[in-house]
């Protein structure tokens, strides 16, 4: 779970008084990304969804191992252009401003994912050439797409149909295919591939019927490959997924975020206090969910390892709730989890903190100091 260099760095930052700290294992990240890309070779391109972790060090490490980056704001686009100029970029996201559309067109991004007929009309009005995927949110059989269907993202059949007359009058905006992102936190590679089959068997006929001039259509299948926070060792089976993807002749692309970077970040902190309150054991840790909001956002227990460091002091045994320094009962990393002999001064190293972690957190709340950041090459 925790590599030796990460353990050594955790002890080093603790020794130098720099806690809390985020420690990233860039070597592990590169190896993982290379393995994912190798698994997908010949079946699908891979664009990293920058929203999972946009840190420049992470993007720099990933750049040689992905086909491109998927961004969802002008800020992410600027970051990617600075860190990896020349790497293809797909720009998605609802609510793109005029300034963001202009930024995406100069220079033009590889693909712009259009979210609505009105966004398409605004893009067309800018007059610059653009290569786009229409973001589709179709009604497909199966429970796994219900959440997407109940969201504002993309276009249903009516929305897609409303794009067609606009496109007919705008040859400078070229549709290359469709973009979908229809499920989240799917651990099962076979289920994910089955979704890809349902998408392709709807999308390719749709494109043939409505955009017959389109040659070699692209389908971006989105991200959403799951990370199991109960079992940090379990990983999405990319080889099984690639093997089960439908061979249709369409150019396939995926844009995972969490399943690429989650495994390679750790949040390292120490125990400030232990106590019993109304029959419950608590360990109060330095920092809090203003640094690592993931467990609150998803409602899980963040997996962790304890590194003993303490000299003395009271010990906590049995089920304990690990909390941070914030004055809110929601500042909880893990609830009623087994600990033994946990003392003030011990280190707690949270795993799976490389995605939707620091960048998802409400840093300013209570004005505690920020963590420090260490990137291990």
Residue ranges binding ligand PLP (CB under 6 A):
49, 51-52, 70, 92, 181, 184, 222-225, 255-259
Which position among 311, 327, 338, 367 bears the catalytic label? Answer: 327
Q: Which is nearer to ligand PLP, 176 or 374 (CB)?
A: 176
Closest distance to ligand PLP from the beta carbon of 140 (Å): 16
- Give the residue with the Cβ less far from ligand PLP, 52 or 339: 52
Smallest gap, in angstroms, from Cβ of residue 89 to ligand PLP? 13
For the chain, the three-class secondary structure string (H helix, E strand, C coil) is CCCHHHHHHHHHHHHCCCCCEEEEEHHHHHHHHHHHHHHHCCCEEEEEEHHHCCCHHHHHHHHHHCCEEEECCHHHHHHHHHHCCCCCEEECCCCCCHHHHHHHHCCECCEEEECCHHHHHHHHHHCCCEEEEEEECCCCCCHHHHHHHCCCCCECHHHHHHHHHHHHCCCCEEEEEEECCCCCCECCHHHHHHHHHHHHHHHHHHHHHHCCCCCCCEEECCCCECCCCCCCCCCCCHHHHHHHCCCCCCEEEECCCHHHHHHHEEEEEEEEEEEEECCEEEEEECCCCCCCCHHHHHCCCCCEEEECCCCCCCCEEEEEEEECCCCCCCCEEEEEEEEEEECCCCEEEECCCCCCCHHHCCCCHHHCCCCEEEEEC
Q: Least distance (Å) from ligand PLP to the CB of residue 338?
A: 29
Closest separation between CB of residue 323 and ligand PLP, Å? 27
Our CB check for ligand PLP shows the closer of 92 and 325 to be 92
| Minimal distance, residue 220 CB to ligand PLP, in Å | 8
- The question of whether 327 is a catalytic residue gets the answer yes
CB-wise, 261 or 321, nearer to ligand PLP?
261
Shorter beta-carbon distance to ligand PLP: residue 192 or 283: 192
Residues with catalytic function = 327
């Amino acid at each position: 779970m925790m590599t030796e260099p990460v353990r050594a760095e955790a002890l080093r930052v603790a020794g130098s008084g720099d806690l809390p700290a985020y420690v990233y294992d860039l070597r592990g990240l590169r190896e993982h990304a290379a393995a994912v890309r190798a698994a997908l070779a010949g079946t699908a391109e891979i664009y990293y969804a920058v929203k999972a972790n946009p840190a420049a060090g992470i993007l720099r490490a990933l750049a040689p191992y992905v086909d491109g980056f998927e961004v969802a704001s002008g800020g992410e686009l600027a970051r990617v252009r600075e860190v990896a100029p020349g790497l293809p970029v797909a720009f998605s996201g609802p609510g793109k401003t005029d300034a963001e559309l202009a930024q995406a067109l100069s220079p033009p991004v590889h693909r712009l994912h259009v979210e609505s007929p009105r966004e398409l009309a605004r893009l067309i009005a800018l007059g610059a050439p653009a290569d786009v995927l229409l973001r589709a949110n179709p009604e497909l059989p199966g429970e796994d797409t219900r959440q997407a269907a109940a969201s504002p993202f993309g276009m249903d059949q009516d929305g897609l149909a409303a794009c067609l007359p606009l496109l007919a009058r705008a040859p400078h905006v070229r549709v290359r295919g469709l973009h979908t992102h229809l499920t989240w936190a799917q651990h099962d590679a076979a289920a994910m591939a089955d979704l890809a089959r349902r998408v392709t068997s709807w999308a390719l006929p749709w494109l043939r019927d409505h955009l017959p001039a389109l040659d070699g259509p692209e389908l971006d299948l989105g991200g959403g490959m799951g990370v199991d926070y109960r079992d940090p060792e379990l990983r999405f089976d990319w080889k099984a997924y690639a093997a089960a993807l439908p061979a249709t002749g369409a150019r396939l692309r995926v844009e995972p975020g969490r399943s690429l970077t989650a495994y390679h970040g750790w949040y390292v902190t120490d125990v400030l206090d232990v106590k019993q309150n109304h029959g419950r054991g608590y360990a109060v840790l330095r920092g809090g969910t203003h640094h690592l909001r993931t467990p609150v956002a998803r409602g899980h227990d963040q997996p962790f390892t304890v590194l003993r460091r303490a000299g003395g002091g009271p010990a906590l045994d049995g089920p304990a709730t690990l909390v941070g320094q914030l004055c809110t009962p929601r500042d909880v990393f893990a609830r009623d989890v087994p600990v033994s002999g946990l003392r003030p001064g011990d280190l707690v190293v949270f795993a799976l903190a490389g995605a939707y972690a620091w960048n998802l957190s409400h840093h300013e709340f209570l004005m505690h100091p920020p963590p420090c950041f260490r990137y291990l090459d």
